Amino acid sequence: MRHTKALLIKFALVAVVLFSILAIFDTSSFTEILFISLLVTGASYVIGDLFILPRFGNLVASIADFGLFTASIWFLCLSFIGSGFPILIVSVSAAMSIALGEVLFHAYMKEKVLTKTENEPTRISFSPNRFQTEFSEENEIQDLKKQDKDN
């Protein structure tokens, strides 16, 4: 549920920015912008928010997201909308706007999504020491019984 809410927030951020910038041009339709928003959101969530953010932090994740947004918006706009307008400038400006919003989104991700909650079950990893038993108590008890019999 936490990931679903985070994906919806991220999709809203990306969609609003892309609708704001790409709707200026007459060649882009509502469905094309919606589809581009969906693809960019999915890719950046998996790569930037689930992989890079926990390992490298907010700054590196924001820079990586900027590069990912620029490249993916540029490529998808070329594929779906065409090259009738200055697509690279539009991609960079959209990526800059989304990356600025991503700084706040990353703080939300660290606070609400990537942290472990009390209700979440603990994950048990295999450890060879996990199944080790202690024999010291049994030996001590037997030694005490022997001492009692001897006395």
> Which residue shows structure tokens 């209700």?
119
- Give the distance, in angstroms, between the CA of residue 140 and the centroid of all CA atoms in the same chain: 52
Sorted by where each begins, the domain ranges of the chain are 2-116
Tens digit of each residue's pLDDT (9 = 90 or more) over 21-50: 988 876 788 898 899 999 999 999 999 999
- What CA–CA distance (Å, rounded) separates 112 from 7? 13
The answer to whether 91 and 70 have CB atoms below 8 angstroms apart is: yes
pTM here is 0.72
Tens digit of each residue's pLDDT (9 = 90 or more) over 70-99: 999 999 988 887 776 788 888 999 999 999
